[in-house]
Amino acid sequence: MSDKFKAIVLNQSGEKFSREIKTLDKSFFKSGDVLIKVDYSGLNYKDALILNNGAKLVKEYPHIPGVDFSGTVTESGSADFKSGDRVVVTGCRVGEIYPGGYSQIAKVKSEFLIKIPKEISNKNAMILGTAGFTSLLCAFAIKAREELLLGEKVKDVLVTGASGGVGSIAVMILSKLGYNVSAVTSKKDQADYLKKLGASNVLERKDFEGEPKVLGKGLWDGVVDTVGGTILANAISQTRHSGIVAACGNAANIKLNTTVMPFIIRGVKLWGIDSVMISKKRREFIWSQVNQLIDFDLLEKNTKMVSLEELLNIFSNMLKGKTFGRTVVDLNK
């Protein structure tokens, strides 16, 4: 494999921020013990923020963004990995403080890597990516009402931002777990797709944007919220006794205006979902569950494959709420 490779490189000098595709060599990497030929990376909301202006997440420039990727090990200084191993990275601050996946070659610490289960291709690992990984974490948080908390069986579940990467995959997973899923979206044209994913009902976003009641009518045993703000506040107020709300996003707003009443009157659990600093043991468990909960043929129908060049032209659409499904970057394209 050549020492030269293409990557998106971010730079900042004073107030001037730049993003461009450059040809680099392996000397660019200052840390890591495993070298990987990257096949695919994803476009997540955090990626779009970083590509836009660094989002105060990038500490050193020049920098290669991309918070997840899949590929094949070519060189390893770790006993846990050998040349030819297929691996995936999500989180671990890759693409933020460490060089990321928008690059034909990556070098990372071995503890960041998970071996891809043999049933899953490198491409499918990134069709899932950070978005799908986060969706699985949310689904298992809701399922915990039955298992860890020994509560009543989960029946009715709400998913907000259901047309996005996390939301759409959450609809699929929760449906496969046997729950009655209501999907909230502002994109009426995605209703049929959401029903194919398993949604029983498709609700309009505007119905969750009014002033939330202190305690609304209890409708949901569980909620996966990907947007935050008023929509999350309304979802909390509508959650039934002992329900679990898994919060994983802030696309609408980082602020949450609610009261303690749902928590102390109904025993609602607000479960924050972090997919970045999660333990390796937990990451391995999540990936072990993928094959039985994800229909990749269905997801691929709403996955857009792009090159690095195309990525630079379209990432801003995500910040404007103009994307749906998954966008995957093909580093061989």
- Checking if the pLDDT of 325 tops 80, the result is no
Q: Which residues contact 3 (CB under 8 A, 6 or more apart)?
A: 25, 26
pLDDT tens digits along 78-127:
999 999 999 999 999 999 999 999 999 999 999 999 999 999 999 999 99
**Residues counted in the chain:** 333
> Rg of the Cα trace of the chain?
20
Looking at the structure, do residues 314 and 257 belong to the same domain, yes or no?
A: no
- Checking if the pLDDT of 279 tops 70, the result is yes
Looking at the structure, do residues 88 and 38 belong to the same domain, yes or no?
A: yes
Residue 238: CATH number of its domain: 3.40.50.720
Amino acid (one-letter) located at 271: W
* pLDDT number for residue 53: 93
Task: Please state, in angstroms and as integers, the Cα–Cα distance from residue 136 to each residue in 1, 69, 203, following that order.
Answer: 35, 17, 22
213: left (phi over 0), alpha (psi -120 to 50) or beta: beta
pLDDT band at 320 (very low <50, low <70, confident <90, very high): confident
Count of C-beta atoms within a 10 Å radius of residue 72 = 15
Looking at the structure, do residues 138 and 267 belong to the same domain, yes or no?
A: yes
- Checking if the pLDDT of 274 tops 80, the result is yes
Tell me the whole-structure pTM to 2 decimals.
0.90
Burial zone of 90 (CB within 10 Å; 0-12 exposed, 13-18 middle, 19+ buried):
buried
Residue 21: CATH number of its domain: 3.90.180.10
Give me the mean pLDDT over the 153-160 stretch.
97
* pLDDT number for residue 1: 60
Task: Please state, in angstroms and as integers, the Cα–Cα distance from residue 1 to each residue in 11, 175, 327, 332, following that order.
Answer: 27, 43, 27, 13
Name residue, tokens 């924050």.
272
Looking at the structure, do residues 142 and 243 belong to the same domain, yes or no?
A: yes
* pLDDT number for residue 250: 87
* pLDDT number for residue 214: 95
- Checking if the pLDDT of 134 tops 70, the result is yes
Domain count for the chain? 2
pLDDT band at 148 (very low <50, low <70, confident <90, very high): confident
pLDDT tens digits along 38-68:
999 999 989 999 999 998 999 999 999 999 9
pLDDT tens digits along 204-256:
999 999 999 999 999 999 999 999 999 999 999 999 999 999 999 987 889 99
Domain stop point among 256, 272, 288: 272
- Checking if the pLDDT of 260 tops 70, the result is yes
Looking at the structure, do residues 261 and 139 belong to the same domain, yes or no?
A: yes
Burial zone of 254 (CB within 10 Å; 0-12 exposed, 13-18 middle, 19+ buried):
exposed
Does some domain include residue 280?
no
Mean of the per-residue pLDDT values for the chain?
94
Amino acid (one-letter) located at 272: G
Looking at the structure, do residues 84 and 178 belong to the same domain, yes or no?
A: no
Task: Work out whether strand 16-25 and strand 86-90 pair parallel, antiparallel, or are unpaired.
Answer: unpaired
Q: Which residues contact 27 (CB under 8 A, 6 or more apart)?
A: none
Looking at the structure, do residues 90 and 188 belong to the same domain, yes or no?
A: no
* pLDDT number for residue 253: 87
Q: Which domain holds residue 73?
A: 4-116+302-330
- Checking if the pLDDT of 332 tops 80, the result is yes
